[in-house]
């Protein structure tokens, strides 16, 4: 595989072509200087929730609110991906079309590539690259949410969990573990019937959390489509970013584990494994255990 350098100076200067090219190199494990990325402090906001909750529309509104404050915003939209070509299944959809040409907004869609955490496998490196560019906020919209999906929590400084009034069953799910994800709960589509009752039930569930910090997580009723409730939500987000709560050690361990794994796996990628398996198939000898051992113990094969 050909390895190419990212133009880090151009990225720092905000050159969009350099940013796009750098992300593509990281996305495909082709950046020869990935380990040279040293980012500044930029808040990362994760936006997650079940499909259909309106995450994209909410993200669109958050971009507008932050721009009104004079901020520059980068957005990573994670789409489901095909299990065969690993590309995004929804990458061609029109998302946040108001902002694609805005000089203070950079939007990039990425495929999850089968990652169980709802994020792209290289999302930590891509996020660090964006932090080098002149952005004030980085928003990450995930594929969805599940009880064991902690990837966005480990990556983001602040996580929004987006629900809708019809999500009555989600309160039971929250009690099973999803509550750990959210720093702020957002009840979207609050113009629908039952939104106030759902918010009340959600707050009662949150207050039962054994962790006193999690038990005070705020809940906001908004309508992203009607653009209501957004200013109060943004104010709460910025307040929490100024006074961040301590992360659960388990979450920090997830982040450290991912960083160590990327370092140790930097010479191994899915494309090279695919080519190795294709070569074995041509020889009529596909022994995955043997192939794995060759990567785990390269000195024995010399």
* Domain membership flag for residue 84: yes
* Domain membership flag for residue 22: no
In this predicted model, what pLDDT tens digit does every residue of 23-41 receive, in sequence order?
A: 999 988 889 998 899 888 9
Q: How confident is the model at residue 80 (pLDDT cuts 50, 70, 90)?
A: low
In this predicted model, what pLDDT tens digit does every residue of 108-126 receive, in sequence order?
A: 988 765 454 446 678 889 9
* Domain membership flag for residue 183: yes
Percent of the chain with pLDDT strictly greater than 70: 79
* Residue 86: predicted pLDDT: 47
Same domain for 148 and 244, yes or no, is yes
Same domain for 65 and 178, yes or no, is yes
* Residue 284: predicted pLDDT: 87
In contact, 237 and 157? CB cutoff 8 Å: no
Please indicate whether residue 230 or residue 293 has the higher confidence score (pLDDT).
Answer: 230
* Domain membership flag for residue 134: yes
Rounded Cα–Cα distance for residues 160 and 170 (Å): 15
In this predicted model, what pLDDT tens digit does every residue of 188-204 receive, in sequence order?
A: 999 999 899 999 988 98
How many other CB atoms are there within 10 angstroms of residue 166's CB atom?
15
Same domain for 75 and 44, yes or no, is yes
Q: What is the mean pLDDT of residues 252-267?
A: 73
Same domain for 175 and 94, yes or no, is yes
* Domain membership flag for residue 15: no
Is the pLDDT score of 64 beyond 80? yes
Starting from the edge strand earliest in sequence, which strands make up the sheet with 137-141, in order?
Answer: 105-111, 73-79, 137-141, 44-48, 158-163, 184-187, 219-221
* Residue 178: predicted pLDDT: 64
Same domain for 168 and 119, yes or no, is yes
Closest CA to 155 of 190, 130, 172: 130
Same domain for 173 and 123, yes or no, is yes
* Domain membership flag for residue 140: yes
Same domain for 167 and 59, yes or no, is yes
Q: Which domain holds residue 51?
A: 37-248
Alpha helix (H) residue ranges in 183-229:
195-207
User: What's the CATH code of the domain at 96?
Assistant: 3.40.50.300
* Domain membership flag for residue 66: yes
Same domain for 107 and 237, yes or no, is yes
Same domain for 279 and 149, yes or no, is no
Rounded Cα–Cα distance for residues 141 and 160 (Å): 10
In contact, 35 and 264? CB cutoff 8 Å: no
pTM above 0.85, yes or no: no
Please state the domain count of the chain. Answer: 2
* Domain membership flag for residue 146: yes
Closest CA to 25 of 258, 269, 255, 260: 269
Same domain for 214 and 284, yes or no, is no
Same domain for 294 and 196, yes or no, is no
CA atoms within 13 A on the CB side of 280: 14
* Residue 39: predicted pLDDT: 87
């Amino acid at each position: 595989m050909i390895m190419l350098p990212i133009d880090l100076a151009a990225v720092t200067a905000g050159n969009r072509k350099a940013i796009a090219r750098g992300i593509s190199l990281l996305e495909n494990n082709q950046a020869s200087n990935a380990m040279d990325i040293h980012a500044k402090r930029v808040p990362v906001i994760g936006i997650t929730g079940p499909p259909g909750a309106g995450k994209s529309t909410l993200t669109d509104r958050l971009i507008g609110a932050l721009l009104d404050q004079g901020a520059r915003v980068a957005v990573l939209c994670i789409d489901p991906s095909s299990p065969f070509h690993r590309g995004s299944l929804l990458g061609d959809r029109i998302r946040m079309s108001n902002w694609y040409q805005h000089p203070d907004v950079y939007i990039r869609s990425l495929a999850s590539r089968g990652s169980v955490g709802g994020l792209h496998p290289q999302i930590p490196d891509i996020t660090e690259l964006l932090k080098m560019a002149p952005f004030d906020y980085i928003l990450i919209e995930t594929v969805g949410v599940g009880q064991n999906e902690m990837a966005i929590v480990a990556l983001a400084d602040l996580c929004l969990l987006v629900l809708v009034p019809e999500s009555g069953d989600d309160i039971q799910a929250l009690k099973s573990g999803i509550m750990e994800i959210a720093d702020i709960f957002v009840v979207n589509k609050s113009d629908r019937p039952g939104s106030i009752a759902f918010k009340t039930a959600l707050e009662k569930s949150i207050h039962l959390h054994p962790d006193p910090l999690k038990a005070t997580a705020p809940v906001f009723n908004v309508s992203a489509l009607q653009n209501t409730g957004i200013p109060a939500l943004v104010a709460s987000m910025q307040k929490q970013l100024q006074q961040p709560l301590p992360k659960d050690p388990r979450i920090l361990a997830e982040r450290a584990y991912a960083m160590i794994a990327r370092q140790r796996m930097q010479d191994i990628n899915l494309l090279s494994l695919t080519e190795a398996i294709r070569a074995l198939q041509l020889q009529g000898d596909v022994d995955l255990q043997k192939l794995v051992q060759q990567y785990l113990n390269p000195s024995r094969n010399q």
